[in-house]
Amino acid sequence: MKVVYEAPKINTGVPTTYCGGCGHGIINRLIAEIIDEMELKEKAVLLWPIGCSCVNVNTMDIDQLCCLHGRGPASGTGMKRANPDNLVIVYQGDGDMVSEGMAEIMHAAIRGEKFTVIFVNNAIYGMTGAQMAPTTLLGQNASTAPGGRLVVNSGYPVKMAEILAELPGTVYSERVTVNTPANIIKAKKAIKKAFELQMKGEGMTFVEVLSMCPTGWSMSPVKACEWVDSTMTEIFPLGVVKDETEGLKQQEEAAK
């Protein structure tokens, strides 16, 4: 019998603690599938943030470091600079990266740190209970923005994929989502490309993943998937924001 679908090899079988309809599980699975496909288990180190994802460290059979809130890009800097041959994956949420750790991610990108950042943007604080994130949309309800986010209090949602693309240290920046099977395939392609670029020793590779948080958004899982398309992508458009791969290819050609 032909196997058409199975759990990734580095999956330990430990169930996740994610809520029904959450995007994290899909993104975790994509990372695991790609590490399998690229045969990088022996080189991979995954740096977790503080947030819903950090209690799922037992789901993957690879080396992992659970970092302090927001400090993943700093610890990733120390780790990647110490062992440049490793695949260092810095996994961050919106509160972790854009609030607590804005300095760390900006300066890691400014220095062109050669690791991959997977930025899970669900526009809300999941773990602590639906508080407002820096990426919460204007008017979006949050427990700390009852009635919706107001510009006068909180300014505007932050577009990380675009901000980091402005920095020369970032070689690749793309925004994807995991709300439909087609989008999941695109997300996998983006993450795989980021890993490939990292293993070639290029600069920072950044993939922002718009992710569903039905619990935090007070929506059904199906409605949450629809909301990504109908509302979230208006502020956070999908697609490649920056790709210097072509330039790199030209450099390689010139070197030959």
Q: Which stretch binds another protein (CB under 8 A): 22-30, 64-72, 148-156, 248-256?
A: 64-72
Can residue 166 be called a binding residue for another protein (CB under 8 A)? no
With residue 176 as reference, give the H or E element that holds it: strand 170-177
User: Is the CB of residue 45 less than 8 Å from the CB of residue 25?
Assistant: no
Tokens 């993104």: give the residue: 27
- Phi/psi at 88 (5° precision): -105, 120
Nearer to another protein, 83 or 180 (CB): 83
Q: Is 20 exposed, middle or buried (0-12, 13-18, 19+ CB in 10 A)?
A: exposed
Task: Retrieve residue 225's tokens.
Answer: 């998937």
- Phi/psi at 31 (5° precision): -60, -45
Can residue 111 be called a binding residue for another protein (CB under 8 A)? yes
Which listed residue (19, 68, 219, 248) binds another protein by CB under 8 A? Answer: 68
Which listed residue (57, 138, 240, 248) binds another protein by CB under 8 A? Answer: 57
Q: Which stretch binds another protein (CB under 8 A): 73-81, 131-139, 211-219, 233-241?
A: 73-81
80-99 positions binding another protein, by CB under 8 A: 80-83, 86-87
- Phi/psi at 191 (5° precision): -65, -40
Q: Which stretch binds another protein (CB under 8 A): 20-28, 71-79, 194-202, 212-220?
A: 71-79
Can residue 48 be called a binding residue for another protein (CB under 8 A)? yes
Which listed residue (79, 124, 184, 190) binds another protein by CB under 8 A? Answer: 79
Q: Give min distance, CB of 106 to another protein, in A.
A: 8
- Cα 210 from chain centre: 8
Give Cα separations from 158 to 98, 149, 246 (angstroms): 8, 13, 28
* Interface positions with another protein (CB under 8 A): 40-45, 47-48, 50, 54-55, 57-58, 60-68, 71, 74-83, 86-87, 103-104, 106-107, 111
